[in-house]
Amino acid sequence: MTHRTQLSQPEEALRRADAAPANLRTLMERIAAWISFENSDAAITPADLDYFANHQAWAYLKRASRLGSVDNDRREALRAALIAAMPAPRGETRGEYALRLRAAARAS
């Protein structure tokens, strides 16, 4: 059985389009809105950020997909790009982190 190690040109183009700065900015703003609304006094953790990034990557690709299915490789690439673009938590609450995340989204 052979395994592909490189993406085809169309697949690579989709991966780059998914992780475009405008898309990341929009998804970061959505995550900031979500975490500031839901349990904003609780501490934010890296696991929370991974959950929110994964969920937003899946939701973005689900909306973008006309066939209704989500390619896991594209979802993982977008999740990783989101995690890399978001600032690391510094022991603050979700509400405080949401303010920093919004600022990072505007700066990107």
User: pLDDT digit string (tens) for 38-93?
Assistant: 889 999 999 999 999 999 988 888 877 766 677 788 888 889 989 999 999 999 99
Domain annotation covers residue 79: yes
Domain annotation covers residue 6: no
Question: Which domain, by its residues, includes 83?
Answer: 16-107
Assessment of whether the complete model's pTM goes beyond 0.85: no
Domain annotation covers residue 43: yes
Total structural domains within the chain: 1
Task: Examine the pLDDT at 19 and tell me if it is beyond 90.
Answer: no
Average pLDDT over residues 89-105: 95
Q: Which of 40, 38, 74, 37 is nearest to 54 (CA)?
A: 74
Domain annotation covers residue 10: no
Predicted local confidence at residue 2, as pLDDT:
47
Domain annotation covers residue 5: no
Tokens of 17: 């389009």
3-state secondary structure 14-73: HHHHHCCHHHHHHHHHHHHHHHHHCCCCCECCHHHHHHHHHHHHHHHHHHHCCCCCCCHH
Average pLDDT over residues 20-41: 86
Domain annotation covers residue 44: yes
